[in-house]
Amino acid sequence: MSAPGRLRRFAIRTGAVAAKEATHAVRDPRTLYLALGMPVVLLVIFGFGISFDVEDVPIAVVDQDRTPDSRALERSLTTGHEFVVAARPDDPAEVDRLFRERTVSAALVVPRGFAREWAAGRRAPVQLLVDGSDGVGAQSVLGNASAALRAEGRRRLAAETGGAAAPLAAEVRLLFNPALRSAVFFVPGLIAYILYIVGVLLTALTIAREQERGNLEQLFATPVGRLEVMLGKLLPYLALGLLQALLVLAFGMAVFEMPLRGSLGVLGLGTLLFLAGALAQGLFISSVAGSQQVATQAGALSSLLPGVLLSGFVFPVENMPLLLRALASVFPARYYVDLLRGVMLRGNGFDALWGDFLGLGVFCLAAVALATLGFRRRLA
């Protein structure tokens, strides 16, 4: 048979398997919920739940000086929405009790003589106490409070010197995320994490479910090849996954005000490769698992842990030991997180992201090959 004829028969057989799989997926409400409902639910829960933004942090102010200068120092902390005064104890010893009762997360202690020392041009010390039991939150609180106090010191110095400029004035600009909103950093990683988990689980049960129900015997009686079976089972879920990705991306941009500074075509191509690789990974797990229970556990473990720990979603991959960096390079979430942040936040194009595309493409081809080799046209 000629090459065009073989290609035509390959396409017909693959399309037949794809049509059968698409019918099963549409008729199964659990599959539709897993593909379209769960990603949005997870994005809402994690998107609003994970936040390092400092807002309305309760603080205690111990003002032993009680002067206009000490009150101006307090206002420098509470002018914005970062801090709110929750207690005004008279004795600094009461601050420890407020911390233990979790009434406040920080405390400002202004000693007596603060205004006198400041007016005399001498060092006017104040004490800033921060609850360090939550290390990440403490760093954010400490950074914002210290910045506010330094700004008040510069304002006072400028007022005393008649607005004279300091010898060195550094202009600091934050690019791509000027407000330092944690959602802008986390949501792209969340999108990759959710799509990876759902993509793997969507196909992890397909072959294992048919094997448990005895439906594979009918498939073995047909002349359909292993690659045709794999592609036929992958294509319907790939279409469903693209719809899922579009829904999650649109929801993230609308609710969390995520920007899209790059090309939608570049983002779409990267999403296509990422979903194809995740779905092929699920097919490989399903072809070797033998049961739905084992397939579910293997699919969850192989997507949950790499999606969080090895993707750069929370922890920068560049700061990991060499062995973990090498392990992270195996999984597609590591490349897709970088691609999402590059396209959505920095406006990068293919020229800057070709390494991520290469990693996604290699994983996709390897996963399809492994799934095809792992599928045996015989009953165990």
How far apart, in whole angstroms, are the C-alpha atoms of residue 315 and residue 337? 12
Q: Is the pLDDT of residue 159 over 70?
A: no
Are residue 277 and residue 342 in the same domain, yes or no? Answer: yes
Strands 127-130 vs 83-87: parallel, antiparallel or unpaired: unpaired
| Tokens linked to 271 | 């999403």
Examine residue 168 and state whether it is found in any structural domain, yes or no.
Answer: no
CA distances from 322 to 20, 318, 326, 346 (A): 45, 9, 6, 27
HSE-CB of 243 using CA atoms within 13 angstroms: 12
Are residue 24 and residue 124 in the same domain, yes or no? Answer: no
* Position with higher pLDDT, 99 vs 369: 369
Q: Are 92 and 60 in contact (CB under 8 A)?
A: no
How far apart, in whole angstroms, are the C-alpha atoms of residue 373 and residue 283? 11
Q: Is the pLDDT of residue 14 over 70?
A: yes
The predicted model gives 120-124 an average pLDDT of 73
**In the prediction, which pLDDT does 266 show?**
95
How sure is the predictor about 275, in pLDDT bands with cuts at 50, 70 and 90? Answer: very high
Are residue 189 and residue 67 in the same domain, yes or no? Answer: no
* Position with higher pLDDT, 234 vs 20: 234
| Tokens linked to 67 | 């002067």
The predicted model gives 350-370 an average pLDDT of 94
User: What sign does the dihedral 171-174-179-180 (CA atoms) show?
Assistant: negative
Kindly report, residue by residue over 99-114, the tens digit of the pLDDT. Answer: 888 888 888 888 888 8
Cβ contacts of 9 within 8 Å, gap of 6 or more: 1
| Tokens linked to 176 | 């791509």
How far apart, in whole angstroms, are the C-alpha atoms of residue 82 and residue 59? 10
Are residue 143 and residue 284 in the same domain, yes or no? Answer: no
Q: Is the pLDDT of residue 379 over 70?
A: no
* Position with higher pLDDT, 168 vs 356: 356
How far apart, in whole angstroms, are the C-alpha atoms of residue 364 and residue 241? 15
- Indicate the average pLDDT of the chain: 82
Q: Is the pLDDT of residue 348 over 80?
A: yes
Examine residue 171 and state whether it is found in any structural domain, yes or no.
Answer: no
Terminus-to-terminus CA distance in the chain, angstroms? 33
The predicted model gives 223-240 an average pLDDT of 86
Q: Is the pLDDT of residue 272 over 90?
A: yes
Kindly report, residue by residue over 17-64, the tens digit of the pLDDT. Answer: 888 888 877 787 777 787 888 888 888 888 777 766 667 788 888 888
The CATH number of residue 116's host domain is: 3.40.1710.10
Are residue 135 and residue 100 in the same domain, yes or no? Answer: yes
**In the prediction, which pLDDT does 354 show?**
94
Q: Are 269 and 158 in contact (CB under 8 A)?
A: no
DSSP codes of every residue in 43-96? HHHHHHH------SEEEEEEESS-SHHHHHHHHHHHSSSSEEEEE--SSTTHHH
Are residue 12 and residue 112 in the same domain, yes or no? Answer: no
Cβ contacts of 65 within 8 Å, gap of 6 or more: 110, 111, 112, 113, 114, 115
Are residue 203 and residue 301 in the same domain, yes or no? Answer: yes
Q: Is the pLDDT of residue 168 over 50?
A: no
HSE-CB of 239 using CA atoms within 13 angstroms: 11
User: What sign does the dihedral 247-350-302-226 (CA atoms) show?
Assistant: positive
Examine residue 231 and state whether it is found in any structural domain, yes or no.
Answer: yes
Examine residue 175 and state whether it is found in any structural domain, yes or no.
Answer: no
Q: Is the pLDDT of residue 304 over 60?
A: yes
Q: Is the pLDDT of residue 335 over 90?
A: yes
Cα angle value 189/193/194 (rounded, 5°)? 120
Kindly report, residue by residue over 174-212, the tens digit of the pLDDT. Answer: 667 776 677 787 888 889 999 999 999 888 888 777 777
Cβ contacts of 271 within 8 Å, gap of 6 or more: 195, 242, 245, 336
How far apart, in whole angstroms, are the C-alpha atoms of residue 208 and residue 206? 6
* Position with higher pLDDT, 81 vs 65: 65
Q: Is the pLDDT of residue 341 over 60?
A: yes
How far apart, in whole angstroms, are the C-alpha atoms of residue 9 and residue 15? 10
* Position with higher pLDDT, 319 vs 241: 241
SS3 372: helix
Q: Which domain holds residue 120?
A: 57-160
**In the prediction, which pLDDT does 172 show?**
54
Number of domains in the chain: 2
Q: Is the pLDDT of residue 238 over 90?
A: yes
**In the prediction, which pLDDT does 330 show?**
92
How far apart, in whole angstroms, are the C-alpha atoms of residue 134 and residue 137? 5
Report the percent of the chain where pLDDT is more than 70. 88
How far apart, in whole angstroms, are the C-alpha atoms of residue 32 and residue 284? 21
Examine residue 84 and state whether it is found in any structural domain, yes or no.
Answer: yes
